Amino acid sequence: MTTNSELQQLNDYLRAMLLDPQNGHQPAITGSDKSLTWAQLGAGVFNWSARFSTLKLAANVPVVLYGHQQAEFACAIYSCLLHNIPYIPVDNIYPVERLKEICELSSAPFYYDAQQCCFVATGLPAQELEQRDLAYIMFTSGSTGKPKGVQIGRESVWNFMQWLRSDFSLPANPVLMNHAVFSFDLSLIPLLGNLATAGHLVLNAKEDIAGENWLASLKQEKVSVWVSTPSFAYQKLLLPEFRADYLSDLKVFIFIGEVLSKALVKHLRRLFPEAKILNSYGPTEATVATTVVEISDEMLKESCDLLPIGHMMPHSEMEITADNELIIWGKNVMRGYLGLPDENAQKLLWNGNKQWRGYKTGDLGHVRNNYLYCQGRNDSQIKMNGYRIEIHEIENRLLALSGISEAVVLPLTKKDGAVLRLAAFCTSKLSEKEIKATLAQTLPSYMVPSQIVIMDALPLNPNGKIDRKLLDAQARTC
């Protein structure tokens, strides 16, 4: 249940951090446009108060923020949090059509263009949101379904910030890198982690990450906390400077968004022997992350292919249904999808005693040795020629082969939904023939993909996750 005192605590905390910073001369944000100390950030946030008041926004009317890794974008988000203005982040790597669509779906009367540093009127009549005290609405990009506006309350953000401070092994005065677009909620780990710890947020624009000097810039900024999807990190493993004696300040790796494989952790251990490696899990619908665990050497030695996703955040619980679906209960669960009552009825549950919402994740999981495990999505089970096949089981078998670091298996279906064949995509030192032969030693023949495509790196979507839609399209043309 949300109490007014919790919301008051968040308000007080934000005022103290942003308007009266104790560490004014320390760097707060380094963005693609400029760098701000905490004092400059505070002054910027103060200016925003005036800018928001000229907009004459009624309470509970959202603002869309449009840009890409600018310090001013982050400043706008912090200001919205301070002034209780629900914000909707849209990255400008998406086409303008997506911006328009999101403005219409949310009836936002203005969007802020962080590139141009100005507000643009959308011409739409402002409508109050049904929900009060919303922190943000995040439109998922839909890699596991259709894009939906996930509404997250201020109480969830406060709960999440406190958890970030206590359970994510953040060093004192952390320097947090952010590679994720602000419209992907992974970015909230560094963005809110910075606010929770008075750290330094280093924003990395897409073109910088692709450039030659990116790791040199992380070194120069003394980045100490890496936050990304596992796939994003895989792609950096081959860079010669990606190692502890070059990036000597890097002490913590936080992974979320996809399965973290043992292969990646082992590789990182060799490159960064002293660093802590954390696996965190959660859907956007439960405020960024719900579980976390530091990966130990014992976990790597266990015979099970999977690594645990850890323990629940405070004020939440995980229910595992008879058919192994993970249901998240607690303060972190969204208020609902914007304007989608049918979806809300399908995905949300209510516990009257605790006054908690529950969210049916569609992920499968179990508990072992007191740790939670996520074993893939419940839609990853398919039927082919009458055989029941767990796609993630084949992926895990592939990842267990030495020389394979990334692997995705996709079922190729006919128009009527019947599965025709399986295609696997992987980065591998082994040949297609070798892979098939090795898989055939442990899997029944119908589970060995008929097509194995070996790639230098698997393509990523704008969120830094493996782009399954693109791979699916590619498999169809082969």
Ligand X SMILES: Nc1ncnc2c1ncn2[C@@H]1O[C@H](COP(=O)(O)OP(=O)(O)OP(=O)(O)O)[C@@H](O)[C@H]1O
- Name residues whose C-beta falls within 8 Å of residue 392's C-beta, 6 or more positions apart in sequence: 259, 375, 376, 377, 380
- Name residues whose C-beta falls within 8 Å of residue 49's C-beta, 6 or more positions apart in sequence: 79, 83
| Alpha-carbon distances, residue 299 vs 153, 225, 277, 288, 308 (angstroms) | 35, 22, 12, 24, 8
Stretch that binds ligand X, among 240-248, 279-287, 313-321, 413-421 (CB under 6 A): 279-287
Strands 325-330 and 336-337: unpaired
* Residue 57 or 328 having the CB closest to ligand X: 328
Q: Where are the beta strands (DSSP E) in 248-355?
A: 252-255, 276-281, 291-294, 311-312, 316-320, 325-330, 336-337, 348-351
Using CA atoms, how far apart are residues 437 and 173, in angstroms rounded to an integer?
51
* Residue 48 or 234 having the CB closest to ligand X: 234
* Binds ligand X by CB under 6 A, chosen from 30, 122, 140, 380: 140
* Binds ligand X by CB under 6 A, chosen from 18, 57, 192, 260: 260
Give yes or no for residue 290 binding ligand X (CB under 6 A).
no
Q: In the chain, count H helices and then E strands.
A: 15, 26
Stretch that binds ligand X, among 168-176, 256-264, 294-302, 394-402 (CB under 6 A): 256-264
Q: What count of Cα atoms within 13 Å lies in the side-chain half-sphere of residue 275? A: 27
* Binds ligand X by CB under 6 A, chosen from 155, 363, 393, 406: 363
Q: Smallest gap, in angstroms, from Cβ of residue 375 to ligand X?
A: 8
Residue 359, H or E segment = strand 356-368
* Binds ligand X by CB under 6 A, chosen from 377, 421, 436, 468: 377
* Binds ligand X by CB under 6 A, chosen from 27, 109, 149, 283: 283
Q: Smallest gap, in angstroms, from Cβ of residue 130 to ligand X?
A: 22
Binding track over 8-47 against ligand X, x by CB under 6 A:
----------------------------------------
Give yes or no for residue 158 binding ligand X (CB under 6 A).
no
Q: Smallest gap, in angstroms, from Cβ of residue 256 to ligand X?
A: 5
Give yes or no for residue 142 binding ligand X (CB under 6 A).
yes
Residue from 337, 332, 334 nearest 318 by CA? 332
Q: Smallest gap, in angstroms, from Cβ of residue 142 to ligand X?
A: 5
200 close to 176: Cβ distance less than 8 angstroms: yes
Stretch that binds ligand X, among 86-94, 134-142, 241-249, 327-335 (CB under 6 A): 134-142
- Phi first, then psi: give them for residue 282, nearest 5 degrees: 165, 150
Q: Which amino acid is at 123?
A: G
Using CA atoms, how far apart are residues 390 and 410, in angstroms rounded to an integer?
11
* Residue 316 or 463 having the CB closest to ligand X: 463
Q: Smallest gap, in angstroms, from Cβ of residue 310 to ligand X?
A: 9
Q: Which amino acid is at 470?
A: L
Stretch that binds ligand X, among 5-13, 278-286, 346-354, 391-399 (CB under 6 A): 278-286
* Binds ligand X by CB under 6 A, chosen from 17, 463, 467, 471: 463
Stretch that binds ligand X, among 29-37, 101-109, 139-147, 331-339 (CB under 6 A): 139-147
- Name residues whose C-beta falls within 8 Å of residue 285's C-beta, 6 or more positions apart in sequence: 150, 328, 333, 334, 347, 359, 361
Stretch that binds ligand X, among 16-24, 161-169, 281-289, 330-338 (CB under 6 A): 281-289
- Name residues whose C-beta falls within 8 Å of residue 460's C-beta, 6 or more positions apart in sequence: 229, 231, 232, 235, 466, 467
Strands 356-368 and 325-330: antiparallel
Give yes or no for residue 122 binding ligand X (CB under 6 A).
no
Which pair of structure tokens corresponds to residue 244?
A: 């502890």
Stretch that binds ligand X, among 100-108, 157-165, 190-198, 273-281 (CB under 6 A): 273-281
Q: Smallest gap, in angstroms, from Cβ of residue 128 to ligand X?
A: 26
- Give the total of residues touching ligand X (CB under 6 A): 22
Q: Smallest gap, in angstroms, from Cβ of residue 40 to ligand X?
A: 32
Binding site for ligand X (CB under 6 A): 140-144, 256-260, 279-281, 283-284, 309, 361, 363, 374, 377, 463, 465
